[in-house]
């Protein structure tokens, strides 16, 4: 696991509860970590779609 850093922020309680249920997370911290990972994964997937559609350069090209 990557190193963890303590953060203090405000969050919509209903959205957090919903995300926790959807992600089947055991804790609120786990919910936030999973949600952040999903956002990064989504970005990678969308870049792959863009490459496949010819919108971005292919891997390994200048």
pLDDT 10s digit of each residue in the chain, 62 long?
A: 678 899 999 999 999 999 999 999 999 999 999 999 999 888 888 888 778 887 766 556 55
pLDDT of residue 56: 65
- Scan for tokens 């971005």, then name that residue: 56
If you ran DSSP here, which 8-state letter would residue 26 be given? S
Strands (E), the chain: none
Q: What is the pTM of this model?
A: 0.69
pLDDT of residue 49: 77
Q: Are 31 and 19 in contact (CB under 8 A)?
A: yes
pLDDT of residue 55: 74
């Amino acid at each position: 696991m990557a190193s963890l850093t303590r953060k203090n922020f405000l969050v919509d309680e209903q959205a957090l509860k919903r995300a926790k249920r959807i992600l089947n997370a055991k804790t609120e911290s786990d919910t936030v970590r999973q949600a952040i990972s999903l956002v990064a994964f989504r970005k990678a997937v969308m870049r792959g779609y863009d490459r496949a559609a010819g919108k971005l350069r292919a891997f390994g090209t200048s």
